[in-house]
Chain A
């Protein structure tokens, strides 16, 4: 429980700070902090496999590519991010409204104490490599393969777009 409070707060704080951060690289780093804190939450639930894959996939691959693009394009130059465009202002307003709606919807559930009582105990195999393997490759084999196909199509599409046209 202490683990949850500390790292839940860390995840939340890092996420909020990321949104308000002006420097693109600092924002990406706060995103990494958020992802690592969520990984520790997985660990505190005994889901060691999810913990490791969260770090490898999100922190290790995806955000590194973000950073890569930020560094290559040089969008961290200060003049790019100094002013809010009207579009961004509208986005902020929309985001604030939807956040309020979500908090309002979740408030009755969060306030009641029945929430913790109703939850079933976490099974021993939760988040282990075996249980995830069984779910992915037996129970939901077809959706899993279709997702793979979708990603393959996206990859081929990128290859076609990036290919130089013969003259």
Chain B
């Protein structure tokens, strides 16, 4: 590694960080516009054309706002909790491959910040560190609503991490590698979504829950808990939590694209090839981010027991049943159609095992939410 490699890495990190911050502003603006449209409102329309500068105006406002430090808050933990929340959210993006290769001269630059050979595990590890930001924020605020929000949130994130971990195992089995780049390259002939629909659905539901997004946004249920774990935070500290939440949405969408939808791959004309890959990646990711908005606008919030039931009695058993089936098909090389059929059968069996233990009216609500 000579000095040029170091420069390349530094440029990649700085450019990605700045672009991600810009992207976050767009994601927040787009969410407000899309949700407004779904609710027959106009949404942001004052700052700039179509309210495009609204996020930047909000950011500046949060920067200059008074930073309130509650008397009962913990001296040390209270200020570092937002940082613990935001840093892993950005770090998780480092393993996302957003393009293939850029060749300048005889130097090949991978369009990914860090291609480590356990990339997927790194992504999961950063997700598990993110729990600390939320739990510590709630505890250190020294106030009851944040504490309740934090306890709810950590229980939820730990539960759904298991489901998410289970859902990526079949993909790893098929790709034969834990490197995110390797997983994309393994999808050259067929995207994994073709054989891994159950895994994908589990990943998606667990992903929405991991971000604490509606309909799993119990940690910040404003009708019960004011604003949940970040009630006492204001100014720039609040902004860090806000950025972390949207960064999680982007990263979880990007990893969904990487695992199931072929990452940067897609048909393209034969010029400027690496940049087409980046465009495909951004387009697919944007589709998933839109799905997050759509889900938020469509579904009411779950009750706490429903949330835990969905995680533990529905997603985890199906995830566990799906792993041996995928493994068997992978080894014995049966047609992928059989895999899809077997997945449906297992789903029905697990459903019939799980559901009769509950009251009928709870059953139908919950089923509707999880299948959607």
* B77, A64: Cβ atoms closer than 8 Å: no
Nearest to A65 among chain B residues (CB) is B158
Residues of B within 8 A of A131 (CB): none
Q: How far is the CA of A146 from the CA of B128 in the complex (A)?
A: 28
Out of A32, A48, A68, name the residue touching B155 (CB < 8 Å): A68
Q: How far is the CA of A25 from the CA of B76 in the complex (A)?
A: 11
Q: How far is the CA of A76 from the CA of B147 in the complex (A)?
A: 13
Residues of A within 8 A of B121 (CB): 49, 52-53, 56
Q: Answer whether residue A106 sits at the interface, using C-beta atoms and an 8 A cutoff.
A: no
* A60, B118: Cβ atoms closer than 8 Å: no
A26-B154 contact in complex given A52-B125, A71-B147, C-beta closer than 8 Å: no
Nearest to A49 among chain B residues (CB) is B118
Q: What distance in Å separates the Cβ of A80 from its nearest Cβ neighbour in chain B?
A: 16
Residue interface bits A23-36, CB-to-B below 8 A is 1, else 0: 00110010010000
Chain A interface, >50% SS class: helix
Nearest to A52 among chain B residues (CB) is B121
Residues of B within 8 A of A67 (CB): 132, 135-136, 139, 154
Q: What distance in Å separates the Cβ of B316 from its nearest Cβ neighbour in chain A?
A: 14
Q: Answer whether residue B131 sits at the interface, using C-beta atoms and an 8 A cutoff.
A: yes
* B118, A51: Cβ atoms closer than 8 Å: yes
Q: How far is the CA of A59 from the CA of B124 in the complex (A)?
A: 12
Q: Answer whether residue A99 sits at the interface, using C-beta atoms and an 8 A cutoff.
A: no
Residues of B within 8 A of A32 (CB): 132
A55-B129 contact in complex given A67-B135, A71-B151, C-beta closer than 8 Å: yes
List CB contacts (< 8 Å) of B40-92 with chain A.
74, 76-77
Q: What distance in Å separates the Cβ of A45 from its nearest Cβ neighbour in chain B?
A: 14
Q: How far is the CA of A51 from the CA of B116 in the complex (A)?
A: 11
Chain B interface, >50% SS class: helix
Q: Answer whether residue B210 sits at the interface, using C-beta atoms and an 8 A cutoff.
A: no
Out of A48, A59, A71, A129, name the residue touching B139 (CB < 8 Å): A71
Nearest to B135 among chain A residues (CB) is A67
* B131, A60: Cβ atoms closer than 8 Å: yes
* A128, B117: Cβ atoms closer than 8 Å: yes
User: In the complex, which of the residues B116, B117, B121 has the most CB atoms of chain A within 10 Å of its own CB atom?
Assistant: B121
* A26, B117: Cβ atoms closer than 8 Å: no
Q: Answer whether residue B288 sits at the interface, using C-beta atoms and an 8 A cutoff.
A: no
Q: Answer whether residue A61 sits at the interface, using C-beta atoms and an 8 A cutoff.
A: yes
Q: How far is the CA of A128 from the CA of B132 in the complex (A)?
A: 27
Q: What distance in Å separates the Cβ of A42 from its nearest Cβ neighbour in chain B?
A: 11
List CB contacts (< 8 Å) of B177-203 with chain A.
178
A55-B77 contact in complex given A49-B118, A71-B135, A71-B150, C-beta closer than 8 Å: no
* A48, B117: Cβ atoms closer than 8 Å: yes
Q: What distance in Å separates the Cβ of A19 from its nearest Cβ neighbour in chain B?
A: 18
List CB contacts (< 8 Å) of A128-154 with chain B.
128-129
**Which residues of B does A touch, CB under 8 Å?**
74, 76-77, 116-118, 121-122, 124-125, 127-129, 131-132, 135-136, 138-140, 147, 150-151, 154-155, 158, 161, 178
Apart from A52-B125, A71-B139, A128-B117, what 20 extra A-B contacts exist at CB < 8 Å? A25-B140, A48-B118, A49-B121, A52-B122, A52-B124, A53-B121, A55-B125, A55-B129, A56-B128, A60-B129, A64-B128, A64-B132, A64-B154, A64-B158, A65-B158, A67-B136, A67-B139, A71-B135, A71-B138, A76-B139
The 17 sampled A-B contact pairs (Cβ below 8 Å) are A26-B77, A48-B118, A49-B178, A56-B121, A56-B124, A56-B125, A60-B125, A64-B131, A64-B132, A64-B154, A64-B158, A65-B158, A67-B132, A68-B154, A68-B155, A71-B138, A129-B117
